[in-house]
Amino acid sequence: MARLIFLGPPGAGKGTQAVALAQKLHIPHISTGDILRQALKMRSPLGVKAQGYMDRGELVPDNLVQAMVEERLHQDDIDSGWILDGFPRTVSQAEFLDELLQKLGHNSVQVINLDVPDDILIERLLGRGRPDDTEDVIRRRLEVYHADTKPLIGFYSDRHQLVYVNGNQPLEAVNTDLHEVVAP
Q: Give least dist CB 184 to ligand AMP, A.
A: 27
Kindly state whether residue 29 participates in binding ligand AMP, applying the rule CB under 6 A. Answer: no
What is d(CA 109, CA 83) in angstroms, rounded to the nearest whole number? Answer: 10
CA-based nearest residue to 63, from 49, 48, 75, 51:
49
Q: Give the nearer residue to ligand AMP in terms of CB position, either 52 or 117.
A: 52
Contact 135, 7 (CB under 8 A): no
How many chain residues bind ligand AMP (CB under 6 A)? 16
Q: Give the nearer residue to ligand AMP in terms of CB position, either 151 or 183.
A: 151
Q: Give least dist CB 56 to ligand AMP, A.
A: 8
Helix, strand, or coil (residue 30): strand
What is d(CA 5, CA 82) in angstroms, rounded to the nearest whole number? Answer: 8
Count of residues for the chain? 184
Taking CB atoms, the residue at the shortest distance from ligand AMP is 33
What is the number of other CB atoms lying within 10 angstroms of the CB of residue 45?
A: 10
* Candidate residues 36, 112, 121, 162; the one interacting with ligand AMP per rule CB under 6 A: 36
CA max distance for the chain:
42
The region of 1-9, 59-67, 107-115, 117-125 touching ligand AMP under the rule CB under 6 A is 59-67
What residue ranges bind ligand AMP (CB under 6 A)?
10, 32-33, 36, 53-54, 57-60, 65, 86-87, 89, 93, 141
